[in-house]
Amino acid sequence: MRSWLLLLLLLPSSLQAAEEILLLKTWQPDQDVSGWLMSEKLDGVRARWDGQHLISRGGHRYHAPAWFTKDFPPFAVDGELWSKRGDFEQILSIVLRQHPHDGWKQLALHVFEVPDQAGGLPERLQRLTNHLTAHPSPYLKIIRQLPCKDNRHLQRFMQQLVAHGAEGVVVRNPLAPYQTGRSNDALKVKPYFDQECTVIDYKPGKALPAGQTGSLLCRLDNGVEISIGSGLHQQLRTAPPPQGQRITFKYYGLTAKGVPRHPVFLRPRQDMP
């Protein structure tokens, strides 16, 4: 496992400024999504194919091998570089290298959107289906979309996936046109909430060897400071994310004072400053 400092050094060089992309809002239990499309929310690394290059959420170019993208379409698609559930750190280590390598054989781009195409989501995805019929690729897949009967159906679907290690579910309005930014027509459904914060300091662990990190002192965007110790494995306690790093954590509701309950480290932000 590389240290976070080394990961910073391994970041791909910037190809272009970060562009507007589709982002998800959080589903609320009073939102009726009957008739929408639902799919597994993959815990991978976001990537957009622009017709020539794989680009990260922050506008960096991934150095995928030519054989990986050989049969990709001449139009844009958006998705997640993914291998299997619970494999985020391995995926990240593969895509952050600055040269092509055989590790990409473990990955595929799992597509949930075909930007800049007309029609609703099924029509946009059909454009990619047509391309793959003529140019099949083991490294380009379309994420299965399942019609949602009602909110109870959504909850059952999510519980089944989460029980097998999935991160959650995405629900999309099939009639909505393509759009960027956060939208009421694209929602994430999880058994917990997640949020970003900034690492500002470290706290030692009471029962840990000297020099190891017990928890991360982090600042939320509203100025509230919290400590995150859960979710840190041995390598992270030895080489924690650097101060100033944005990380994602999960939590289970808020206290009466608005502080996240039981925060747990999930991952570094995919595109570091």
Residues forming the active site: 41
Give backbone dihedrals phi and psi of 172, rounded to 5 degrees, phi first: -130, 140
Distance CA 181, CA 211 (A): 41
Distance CA 19, CA 134 (A): 30
Residue 185 token pair: 């027509």
Distance CA 146, CA 149 (A): 9
